[in-house]
């Protein structure tokens, strides 16, 4: 039986970390008009959350966060995650930390963003700055850690989720790349251990790539509170179409 979070987050009436895992669909368009068109398509799938991978937008400038108002009009009251992912963790944002933080601060200043995703590996000073700004605007902070080359051991993964909590995360996320099925089991076991060690915030975990698909489908049973599914396009390897994911979930008790 799934172990829910002890203190779920309620964001725009959506419960994150409750009795059921949620589905988040990313927006990954490279141009503004395509982004809005993608959002219109994605809303037809009725996701629980939407993530704007702003690093996919070519030449993003702080003024482009004005698109958030248009996105909000399209997605209604669905919670929106703003992500400007570092290239060190699979993203397309600048390597320089300063423009990434500038874009994140601009998004936090928007009433249309509910959650910001920031890399735990950016360093304590940067994490503290983003956390303070999120708190200032009443937004939620998702601290994430990604490894696109391998799967560390169970204790390392668990410790990363615990560290995110210790650094002030409202949601902690880890994504790793498996070499085999045993690595997927390592990720799932680490997630369950983290759920028991830090039961009071929502967790997100996944094994990426084709081998890790099982973690996206059944991760909720091990303590992962959100899974990412493909709408029009995937933002990470192994994401499956949202219709297929929900078809499988309907078969489960």
| Enclosing domain of residue 199 | 9-247
- Residue 236: its pLDDT value, please? 63
Mean pLDDT over the full length of the chain: 94
Q: What pLDDT is attached to residue 216? A: 94
> Per the domain annotation, does 85 fall within a domain?
yes
pLDDT digits (tens, 9 = 90+) for 114-132: 999 999 999 999 999 999 9
pLDDT, mean of residues 18-28: 95
| Distances from the Cα of 127 to the Cα of 88, 116, 136, 186, 217, angstroms | 16, 12, 14, 27, 30
Point out the residues that are catalytic. Answer: 146, 173
Mean pLDDT of 130-142: 98
Q: Answer yes or no: is 164 within a domain.
A: yes
Per-residue pLDDT at 253 exceeds 70: no
What CATH number did the domain enclosing 185 receive? 3.20.20.70
Decide if 210 is inside a domain.
yes
Residue 233, domain member (yes or no): yes
| Confidence band for 2, pLDDT divided at 50, 70 and 90 | confident
Structural domains counted in the chain: 1
Residue 42 lies in a domain: yes
pLDDT tens, residue by residue, 83-123? 999 999 999 999 999 999 999 999 999 999 999 999 999 99
253 lies in some domain: no
Write the pLDDT tens digit of every residue in 207-250.
Answer: 999 999 999 999 999 999 999 998 766 666 768 888 888 888 88
Residue 30 lies in a domain: yes
What does the alpha-carbon distance between residue 196 and residue 143 come to, in Å, rounded to a whole number? 19
The pLDDT value recorded for residue 60 is 81
Distances (CA, A) of 14 to 24, 80, 234: 12, 11, 23
Residue 118 domain-assigned? yes
Say what the pTM is.
0.94
Sheet strands (E) in the chain:
9-11, 14-16, 22-27, 49-53, 80-83, 115-119, 140-147, 171-176, 203-207, 226-228
């Amino acid at each position: 039986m799934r172990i829910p979070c002890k203190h779920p987050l309620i964001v725009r009436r959506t419960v994150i970390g409750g009795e059921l895992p949620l589905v988040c669909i990313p927006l990954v368009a490279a141009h503004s008009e395509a982004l809005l068109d993608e959002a219109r398509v994605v809303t037809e799938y009725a996701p629980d959350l939407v993530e704007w991978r702003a690093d996919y937008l070519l030449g993003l400038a702080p003024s482009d966060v004005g698109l958030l108002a248009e996105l909000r009009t399209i997605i209604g009251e669905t919670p929106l995650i703003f992500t400007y992912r570092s290239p060190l963790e699979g993203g397309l944002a600048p390597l320089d930390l300063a423009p990434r933080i500038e874009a994140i601060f601009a998004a936090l200043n928007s009433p249309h963003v509910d959650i910001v995703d920031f890399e735990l590996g950016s360093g304590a000073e940067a994490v503290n700055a983003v956390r303070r700004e999120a708190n200032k605007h009443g937004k939620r902070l998702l601290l994430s850690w990604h490894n696109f080359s391998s799967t560390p051991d169970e204790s390392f993964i668990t410790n990363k989720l615990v560290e995110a909590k210790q650094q002030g995360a409202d949601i902690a996320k880890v994504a790793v790349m498996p070499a085999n099925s045993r690595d997927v089991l390592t990720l799932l076991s680490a997630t369950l251990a983290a759920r028991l060690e830090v039961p009071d915030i929502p967790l997100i975990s996944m094994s990426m790539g084709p081998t890790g698909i099982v973690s996206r489908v059944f991760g909720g049973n091990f303590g992962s509170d959100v899974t990412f599914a493909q709408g029009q396009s995937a933002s990470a390897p192994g994401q499956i179409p949202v219709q297929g994911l929900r078809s499988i979930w309907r078969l489960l008790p």
